[in-house]
Amino acid sequence: NFKFCDKFTFENIQISPFLCLFNQVHTFRGPHWCEYCANFMWGLIAQGVKCADCGLNVHKQCSKVVPNDCQPDLRHVKKVYSCDLTTLVKAHNTKRPMVVDMCIQEIEARGLQSEGLYRISGFSELIEDVKLAFDRDGEKADISSNAYEDLNIITGALKLYFRELPIPLITYDAYPRFIETGKIADPEKRLESLHEALKLLPPAHCETLRYLMAHLKRVTEYEKENLMSSENLGIVFGPTLMRAPGLDAMTALNDIRYQRLVVESLITNEDVLF
């Protein structure tokens, strides 16, 4: 009887070392000093590099030895959607991305009995409007029923957030292990394999997955009304939460079945795994 994700709860969270993101050489206006070695950054152009997340300015050669303690700055995190999940939660100092919390809270406040919840798609232009609202207004975005009467707009916006993550909620590194878990027929052995696979996720990803699975478990409690079983939710969320780059079309198609089984197992065993 294991609950290994306890160590990932926010109260005891151990944030893993976070690397600065030095994407390209930067030209600084006026005199600049390296924030790592404190020496002057010579030249008129391309004097050094700048972290896209925290704004740290260093020599290109110093960027290779900067400590793994990047602290993302809200001034440099310009959007919510398509932003790295760990970057977003560190910049906002939150447990999970605010879009996840706000959408789930709104969905549960309106009730989980809506037929086809998460399966029925909302109007794409309005879903895009919700996305723009979060990118523009952050936690002040209005997603109430006054702004969006159709609940499927909110469920669609939540699914879109996960689809647009640059690193999926179930990360690229962990993907093969989760797929192998989905191939295990024995329920007990699959549960044990999930136990090990979840350890591969970064803390912010594990905490967000925990919160989402607990919500989806509550959705299944109203299956008679909403017709959404854990299997149906696995079909919807499998490809949304996990994907692997560079897979050929046939392998990707075969993986869909195992993606569904993984998410279904996570929902069904949410109370044991997290």
User: Could you tell me which of 162, 166, 158 has the C-alpha nearest to residue 53?
Assistant: 166
185-196 tens-digit pLDDT: 999 999 999 999
- At 54 the three-state DSSP class reads coil
Mean pLDDT of 14-23: 49
- The answer on pLDDT for 103 being more than 60 is yes
Least confident of 28-42, 158-172, 183-197: 28-42
* Helix intervals (H) in 144-222: 151-163, 175-182, 187-198, 203-220
Mean pLDDT of 200-229: 97
CA–chain centroid gap for 110, Å, is: 24
pLDDT at site 101: 98
Q: Which residue has the higher pLDDT, 274 or 18?
A: 274
36-78 tens-digit pLDDT: 677 777 777 777 877 765 666 777 777 776 655 556 555 555 6
pLDDT averaged over every residue in the chain: 85
Neighbouring residues of 103: CB distance < 8 A, sequence distance ≥ 6: 143, 154, 155, 157, 158, 161
Q: What is the pTM of this model?
A: 0.76
Residue 35's pLDDT band (cuts 50, 70, 90): low
pLDDT at site 69: 59
